[in-house]
């Protein structure tokens, strides 16, 4: 196998932007926070929370909650989905991240964060005929339960945007259900040594809502600080 470094003018321009960005990072942020960053090298990471978010380029965990390097252990995937626990020896990227965060890093919080205008959720309502996207098609089935719940709650003929927003939020809830199929997660949660949170990020306003299981609704995250 060969790896070509040749690129078009457009690609070269983009790469140059990345080069300049890294130089700026080294000269500004890294230099200003060098002591803190080197401390993370010497003493290792000790994040308090695992953040499971979407791969969507518009949703940046550290940016939306203004955390520092070392604060969050982050897993990002298409749709911020969590596959149910499956104890086999196949490749399970998200499951491996959960396992490491809980068993090794001993995080005390797990946040599953969905967001508005999610492409994965929208794809549930626009099934593709592209048979080459086998991995994507399989992965998206993890959102089907949320879709069914939204259509039952609102009706199949409900306005499309209402269905999408409802499905995005309900998916957060169903992914929490999947997370609790992991025996070690469920055990620690029942012992109140691990706390699980469902969040919903509105990319149009920057606001975050949290899922309140007592009233089965999402409420402004700001209420938690009151």
Active site residue 129: no
70: left (phi over 0), alpha (psi -120 to 50) or beta: left
Cα separation, 52 vs 81, whole angstroms: 8
Point out the catalytic residue in the list 9, 33, 48, 56.
56
Active site residue 88: no
Point out the catalytic residue in the list 9, 71, 88, 115.
115
DSSP code of residue 66? T
Point out the catalytic residue in the list 48, 62, 118, 197.
118
Q: 180-214 b/e with 16+ CB inside 10 Å = b?
A: bebeebeebbeeeebebbbbbbeeeeeebbbbeee
Point out the catalytic residue in the list 9, 48, 58, 76.
58
Q: Give yes or no for a contact between 209 and 217, defined as CB atoms under 8 angstroms apart.
A: no
* Residue 129: Cβ-neighbour burial (10 angstroms; 0-12, 13-18, 19+): exposed
Point out the catalytic residue in the list 9, 33, 48, 54.
54
Active site residue 54: yes
Q: Which residues are catalytic?
A: 54, 56, 58, 115, 118
């Amino acid at each position: 196998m060969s790896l070509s470094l040749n690129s078009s003018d457009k690609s070269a321009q983009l790469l140059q932007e990345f080069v300049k960005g890294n130089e700026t990072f080294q000269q500004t942020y890294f230099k200003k926070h060098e002591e803190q960053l080197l401390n993370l090298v010497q003493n290792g990471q000790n994040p308090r929370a695992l953040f499971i978010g979407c791969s969507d380029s518009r949703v940046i965990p550290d940016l939306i909650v203004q955390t520092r390097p070392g604060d969050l252990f982050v897993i990002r995937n298409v749709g911020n989905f969590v596959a149910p626990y499956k104890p086999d020896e196949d490749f399970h990227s998200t499951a491996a991240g959960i396992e490491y965060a809980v068993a090794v890093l001993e995080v005390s919080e797990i946040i599953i964060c969905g967001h508005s205008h999610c492409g994965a959720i929208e794809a549930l309502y626009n099934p593709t005929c592209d048979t080459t996207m086998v991995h994507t098609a399989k992965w998206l089935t993890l959102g089907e339960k949320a879709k069914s719940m939204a259509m039952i709650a609102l009706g199949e003929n409900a306005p499309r945007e209402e269905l999408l927003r409802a499905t995005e939020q309900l998916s957060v809830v169903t992914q929490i259900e999947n997370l609790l199929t992991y025996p070690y997660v469920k055990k620690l949660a029942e012992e109140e040594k691990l706390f699980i949170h469902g969040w919903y990020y509105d990319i149009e306003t920057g606001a975050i809502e949290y899922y309140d299981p007592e009233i089965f609704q999402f409420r402004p995250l700001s209420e938690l600080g009151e």
